Amino acid sequence: MDRFGGKVTSANLQEPERVTRETSCFRIERTESFSANIEGSRSNLWIACGIFLVVLGIYSLSSPGRIDIIDGQARFDVAYNWLVTGRPIMRDNLIGPLMSVPGRHGLHYSYYGAPASIFAMPLVWLGLYTSAPAIQPSQFLFSLTSAIIGAGIAPILFLFYLELGVTRRKAFAWTMVSSFATLVWPSSTSTFDNAQHAFFALAAVYFGFLSARRKSFRFAVLGGLMGGILILYQEYFLLIIPALALSTLDWEFEDSSQNLLLGTKSKPIVPRVVLTTKRATHRVMAWVRTARQGPGEARSSCVRYCLFLTAVALGVILSLAYNNLRFGSWLHDGKVTFAAERNYTLLGNPVAGLLTLLVSPGKSVLLYSPPLILGFLGIAKLRRRNPGLVTVIAAASVILVLFISCISFAGGDWCWGPRYLTPLLPLWALAMPFAVGFKLRRDLALAIIGVGFLVQILALSVENQRFFFARGLNDFFWAEDRWFYLKHSALLARVTETASLKDGAPATADLFSSTPLLATYAPLGPPPAVPRNMTPVWIRHFQIFYLPRPWPLWMSYLPPARRPIPVGPWLAGLLGLTALGTGLICHGFREGKFQ
């Protein structure tokens, strides 16, 4: 019997030797890869910059070029008024009564966090500077906010892959898979801000990872600042901050990676998880005890962890101050008041929520991001290489999924796919390269990636709200039927919707949108006089629900005088940006051959 009560066998005796050999081989490989990456750092930066420009160009070209949801319209109104009046208020007569909460000085404020409006303010200002008093150019530019920030995910992911020992070519290929075969792509073309969340979550883990690898306190602080911005978006990200901060710890300190792996291979999944969790907890406690004894890597890891959390605290303080600015209270952010006024509860059925996010035909994250399967298959090999990073990914995923499952609007509606899980996708993408050749054949991996790409093309093809209006759904249908997405699927319906594009808009569609004066304004629902069971007939009066979603396509149906931007110059500029990025990537790969 061993000290954990298990039976000693020849296989168990060989396991420590195998793990030690694999860990040692990885350390040699990691050292060689790290040296190569330092020598080729300039070429890597060229490639990373090129990737950003290519992804930005494609995201921008596939964007709707208009505010696609009322939530985005509220954020635009805040950004616009912040520039014009100096206050983050809402004055829009159409959506103000629907999306605002009374606050200080009798003014109305949005209950959303500040970053989605603040980061868009330069774009809104540029539109006003070039086209005032016309507001459509500002709305068009505002709609590209998530495309710009979402495109920033790709270069960070590429550099992260290099840190994990992935070759340049494979790192580039898997970065493209994450960028164009997962929900990150459609999320980055929406005025929802979930792609922005994904960027800051990945950046926080990346800088935390660098802080552990470089033994750098500055990287730990930088990672914490990225995590603090997440709190400014949504306070619930505080739940995963301790998990993200684990990236600052050196998990190979005194062979901790080996200790965490021993004896786990042959056990069933549940005992394995329990044993790994128990040993990880013991390891953390050992870190703390060692750190108290004197200087060393244990103390350095604990200091980096604390610095990460301290930097996050700045975001918490700013979030509280923003609450006080709007509502005269440090803790009141308007969300509870809004839910009470609209007569729905914030808490939902956790079982229905969990099934909706994981296995339902309507919102399963695996259906909307099939390459996530590769992440699941590659996580075991990544764990052998870097158990600490896997701990970060697993802990953040479990916490966020369980929390989202418990809220009444787990699906994030009205939207495409399980958008609240978008921040987890770049983290799981880190494990994708380790699936091929380990547990999966290359041709099967390519098939999964191809399906993922096809799903994202479907996502970008048609106006997302068509699905909801065509079924006459109420505004808060998700609170009325918790099991809705186990019975209905926007993904399956999208096949028919996309096929209908060849027929064009129906003859009854005499207006472009339900807000006909501004093509870039968010489409709104029917007026109160129109019962919801009549919305399938109501939407047939508007072209927007039957035209292709990307802006270069639907704008071509509008008379030139009604277009918010000059289509030709913008197309040329974005295609040129993509070509420039392609050139930088090629230059980086060529330069890397000589380093």
Tokens read off for 412: 């994030």
Report CA torsion sign: 199, 202, 203, 204.
positive
pLDDT at 258: 42
End-to-end CA distance of the chain, in Å? 53
Rounded to 5 degrees, φ, ψ at 162 are -60, -40
pLDDT at 479: 87
| pLDDT at site 346 | 83
pLDDT number for residue 200: 98
Read off the pTM: 0.90
Q: What is the pLDDT of residue 528?
A: 86
DSSP-assigned states of every residue in 230-260:
HHHH-GGGGGTHHHHHGGGS-TTGGGHHHHH
Q: Both tokens of residue 591?
A: 């330069």
C-alpha 245/C-alpha 224 separation (Å) is: 8
Please tell me the distance from the alpha carbon of residue 294 to that of residue 279, in angstroms, as a whole number. 23
Burial class (CB within 10 angstroms; exposed 0-12, middle 13-18, buried 19+) of 337? middle
The 8 Å CB, 24+ separation contacts for 53-56 are 53/577, 53/578, 53/580, 53/581, 53/584, 54/578, 54/581, 54/582, 54/585, 55/150, 55/151, 55/154, 55/179, 55/581, 56/147, 56/148, 56/151, 56/577, 56/581
Q: How far apart are CA 494 and CA 346, in angstroms?
A: 29
Q: Which pairs count as long-range contacts for 6-12, CB under 8 Å and 24+ apart, including other chains?
A: 6/263, 11/266, 12/263, 12/266
CA atoms within 13 A on the CB side of 98: 16
251 touches 308 (CB < 8 A):
no
Tokens at residue 477, please? 């249908």
pLDDT of residue 269: 45
Please, is 342 exposed, middle or buried when counting C-beta atoms within 10 Å of its C-beta (0-12, 13-18, 19+)?
Answer: exposed
Q: How far apart are CA 159 and CA 24, in angstroms?
A: 23
pLDDT (tens digit per residue) in 352-396:
999 999 999 999 999 999 999 999 999 989 998 898 999 999 999
Backbone phi, psi, residue 110, to 5°: -75, 150
Gap between the Cα atoms of 263 and 282, Å rounded: 15
User: Is residue 100 helix, strand or coil?
Assistant: strand
Class of residue 227 by CB neighbours under 10 A (exposed 0-12, middle 13-18, buried 19+): buried
Average pLDDT, the chain: 87
Instruction: State the CB neighbour count (10 A cutoff) for residue 481.
Output: 14
Contact criterion met (CB below 8 Å) for 211 and 217: yes
Token pair for residue 54? 């290519």
The H or E element containing residue 108 is: strand 108-110
Residues near 516 by beta carbon (within 8 Å), at least 6 away in sequence: none
pLDDT at 288: 67
Distance, CA of 387 to CA of 393 (rounded, Å) = 10
Residue 142 is encoded by which pair of tokens?
């505002």
Beta strands in 176-334, from DSSP E residues, in sequence order: none
- Cβ atoms of 76 and 191 closer than 8 Å: yes
* Residue 437 to residue 563: CA distance in whole angstroms: 50
Strand partners, 102: 108
Low-confidence stretches of the chain (pLDDT beneath 50): 1-39, 254-266, 269-270
Q: Per residue in 396-439, pLDDT tens?
A: 999 999 999 999 999 999 999 999 999 999 999 999 999 987 66
The per-residue pLDDT for 284 is 65
With a CB cutoff of 8 Å and minimum separation 6, the contacts of 559 are none
